[in-house]
Amino acid sequence: MIRKYINWKTFLVLLAVSIAATSLYYANHLTKRLAIEERKKVVLIAEAIKSVVSSTDNIPDNVVFMLINDNTTIPLMITDANEFILSHNNIDTQKIDHVNVYLKEKLVEMKKQHQPIEINISPVQKQFVFYGESELLTKLRYFPYILLIILFLFIIIVVSYISTSNRQLQDRVWVGMSKETAHQLGTPLTSLVAWIEHLKSTQSDVNVLDEMQKDVDRLKLIADRFSKIGSTPKLEEEHLMEHLDGIISYMQKRAPKSIHFKVTSNKEDILVVICGPLFDWVIENLIRNSLDAMEGKGQISIHITDEITQTLIDISDTGKGIAPINIKKVFKPGFSTKKRGWGLGLSLAKRIISEYHYGDIFVKKSELGKGTTFRIVLKR
């Protein structure tokens, strides 16, 4: 049951989230510890400043100034009770035009970062030490987020690579299957052609021979289509309506008489750049699916809209329609709602239109009990 919902992509995402959560926790822990140590250091500096100003402690002045000057990482400012800046340390102002304005902005920033440390110089005189974060603490604070970005980029690259590899493997399977099918069809076709020629020489029934010849020609066309899968087909400018008329004429003879075909177009003659045998295969697949969906009665409508940049071909039926949950799955290899069949027809149609004709094919609309419309987009 768990395997149904967890695949290798989900596992990678969960692993990335686990690593990211652990890194964030550990980095946050280190950041808090370093922040505490920096505050202790600032408190020590504040005490040293108090001893110098008030001269109440017996700390040698050189030790005090060494403590102050030893701070080379934590930016800090010393102000009076009215927050007038008396001095600052580890704040680079060399390339700043308006130093006072810049220091006041830094003071506001430090107030937001940390609670200032109060220095009681006398009962009536106070000073404050404001401080910010050292460069190390800042880097440590942002490190887990940088790590998180790198980690997810790595996951994306790995997933993309594996998906591409799987797609290439599928392509090789398609090509191998197609070439082998074309090869297997070749042998009986050659034999059938020879037998037809022999029957013609014996003056057999001409009508029977004509029908046999049509079926043999059909088998040759199927073999030719399979042979083109995996290779780069030659695209030529052809008359679209002639292709559609030929396909409908062929399919109508093999469809129930209660099935009606209707073709409409916004232009009488439309030129498209296609590979004829493969394009016809796509239309036949769609019509065949419509015939299966209508169960012996209904109408198949083909409407062509020729535009400046593209040609739209809508193939509609009055069949049982496609469930909304299945619309995105219909072009996946192996998916089928029929009891028989391999579920490869629409997958092949998608490949032919998208990869060979640089167009698009998709379900334009579908409603259960009312029918489905597929749209093919052929670009100029």
The answer to the question of residue 11 being in a domain is yes
pLDDT by position in tens, the chain (length 380): 444 445 666 777 777 778 778 877 888 888 888 888 888 888 887 887 777 666 555 555 555 566 666 777 888 888 888 888 888 888 887 777 788 888 888 888 888 888 888 888 777 788 888 988 888 888 888 877 787 788 778 778 877 777 776 666 666 656 656 655 655 565 566 667 777 776 777 766 667 677 677 777 777 777 776 666 666 788 999 999 999 999 998 888 878 889 999 999 999 899 999 988 889 989 988 998 899 888 888 999 999 999 999 999 999 999 999 988 888 888 887 667 666 555 667 888 898 899 889 999 999 999 998 999 999 999 98
Q: Are residues 280 and 319 in the same domain?
A: yes
Q: Taking each helix axis as running N to C, give the angle between helix 135-201 and helix 8-54, from 0 to 180 degrees, rounded to the nearest 10.
A: 170
Distance in angstroms (rounded) separating the CA atoms of residues 335 and 346: 9
Question: Does residue 209 contact residue 199 with C-beta atoms inside 8 Å?
Answer: yes
In a domain, 224, yes or no: no
For the chain, first and last CA: distance in Å?
48
In a domain, 227, yes or no: no
Asked if residues 12 and 155 have their Cβ atoms less than 8 Å apart, the reply is yes
Residues 9 and 84 both lie in one domain? yes
Is 228 part of a structural domain of the chain? no
Residues 122 and 241 in one domain: no
Last residue of a domain, one of 214, 241, 275: 214
Q: What is the CATH number of the domain that holds 281?
A: 3.30.565.10
Amino acid at 334: G
Which ranges of the chain would DSSP assign to H, the alpha helix? 2-5, 8-54, 61-69, 99-113, 135-201, 206-228, 240-254, 276-294, 345-351
| Same-domain pairing of 195 and 110 | no
Asked whether residue 301 falls in the same domain as residue 342, the answer is yes
Q: How many domains does the chain have?
A: 3
Shared domain for 272 and 162, answered yes or no, is: no
Residue 348 lies in a domain: yes
Range of the structural domain that residue 149 is part of = 139-214
Instruction: Indicate whether 82 and 38 sit together in one domain.
Output: yes
pTM: 0.53
Which domain-ending residue is among 133, 151, 170?
A: 133
Of 76, 111, 133, which closes a domain?
133
Instruction: Indicate if 128 and 6 belong to the same structural domain.
Output: yes
**Dihedral sign (CA 119, 121, 127, 133):** negative
Residues 52 and 99 in one domain: yes
